[in-house]
């Protein structure tokens, strides 16, 4: 009798079990934490996302590798390196990392969990944004050491984050689209190839004035070209409104993320 009463008392002290998935925000937060830990342990990813942009900033900021016209070299290079940082992290690094996660069955295991495709994409995008905050801080610090000072108005504090967010969404969607549809080896090859193409043709490190006049409008429609051009206009021309560049990035983001969500395969 005493044992029964004790059991009833104990059971009444605990809430009844509530089986079910955790809230989406909690799952996204946990997955984001996991993604960050995996990134920190991956030396190749850190090289691509942190070291290479800084090395290119030093190289193109000091050496006369290419003429930028009548403007200041450092004013041209720093916004381009900011765009390169987004390209490296949101597109190339994420595409390759996610592609090999599919190959090794990591995503297949996640597919059996309550985390949805949208939740996984949200977690990966948040990881990219956190890394980009560090990248932007480092690039701005190195740029300041190289005597760079932005010639921008107060509205730049609004336009620059908007451009970076739109660029991140666009490149993240493209990277996950590759990783979620192609084999790991094909993703590796395609991501590196597109990285080099956008690096050379998007006005990130080389002025678009170096290309034929007829090709320039099309090159400005590339996400890398829109991001670099938008950042450069805001940070070098006070009062500039990069509406066209922001619109181009938003279109790329909507199309890429929509396709990635619809076509992403866990296995």
For residue 250, the model assigns a pLDDT of 96
Tens of pLDDT, residues 116-160: 767 777 888 888 888 889 889 999 998 888 888 888 888 889 999
Cβ contacts of residue 94 below 8 Å, gap of 6+? 124, 128, 171, 172, 175, 176, 179
- Buried-state track 173-196, b at ≥16 Cβ within 10 A, e below 16: bbbbbbbbbbebeebbebbeebbe
Q: Which of 219, 228, 208 is nearest to 87 (CA)?
A: 228
pTM of structure: 0.81
To the nearest whole number, what is the mean pLDDT of the chain? 82
Decide: helix, strand or coil at residue 85. helix
Query: What mean pLDDT is predicted for residues 82-108?
Result: 85
- Asked if 151 and 75 touch (Cβ cutoff 8 Å), the reply is yes
Q: Has residue 87 got a pLDDT over 70?
A: yes
Q: Which of 62-76, 117-131, 137-151, 239-253 has the lowest mean pLDDT?
A: 62-76
pLDDT in tens, 167-199: 999 998 999 899 888 888 999 999 999 998 888
Contacts of 92 (CB under 8 A, 6+ apart): 48, 175, 191, 192, 194, 195
Spatial neighbors of 89 by CB under 8 A, at least 6 apart, are: 48, 49, 128, 131, 132, 135
In the predicted structure, residue 9 carries a pLDDT above the cut 50? no
**Residue among 89, 63, 78 at smallest CA distance from 139:** 78
User: Helix, strand or coil for residue 105?
Assistant: coil
Q: Look at residues 235, 42, 84 and name the one whose alpha carbon lies nearest to residue 171.
A: 84
């Amino acid at each position: 009798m005493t044992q029964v009463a004790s059991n009833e008392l104990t059971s009444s002290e605990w809430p009844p079990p509530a089986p079910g998935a955790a809230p989406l925000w909690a799952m996204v937060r946990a997955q984001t934490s996991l993604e960050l830990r995996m990134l920190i342990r991956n030396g190749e990813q850190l090289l691509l996302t942190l070291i290479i942009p800084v090395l290119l900033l030093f190289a193109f900021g000091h050496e006369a590798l290419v003429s930028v016209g009548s403007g200041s070299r450092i004013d041209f290079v720093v916004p381009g390196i900011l765009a390169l940082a987004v390209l490296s992290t949101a597109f190339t690094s994420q595409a390759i990392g996610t592609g090999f996660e599919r190959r090794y069955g990591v995503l297949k295991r996640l597919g059996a969990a309550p985390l949805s495709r949208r939740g996984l994409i949200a977690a990966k995008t948040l990881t990219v944004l956190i890394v980009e905050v560090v990248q932007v801080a480092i690039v701005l610090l190195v740029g300041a050491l190289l005597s760079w000072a932005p010639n921008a108005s107060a509205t730049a504090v609004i336009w620059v984050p908007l451009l970076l967010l739109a660029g991140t969404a666009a490149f993240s969607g493209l990277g996950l689209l590759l990783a979620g549809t192609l084999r790991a080896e094909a993703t590796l090859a395609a991501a590196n190839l597109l990285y080099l193409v956008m690096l050379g043709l998007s006005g990130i490190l080389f002025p678009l004035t170096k290309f034929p006049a007829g090709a320039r409008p099309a090159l400005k429609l590339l996400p890398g070209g829109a991001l670099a051009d938008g950042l450069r206009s805001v940070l070098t021309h006070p009062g500039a409104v990069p509406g066209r560049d922001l619109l181009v990035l938003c279109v790329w983001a909507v199309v890429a993320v929509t396709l990635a969500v619809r076509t992403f395969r866990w296995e």
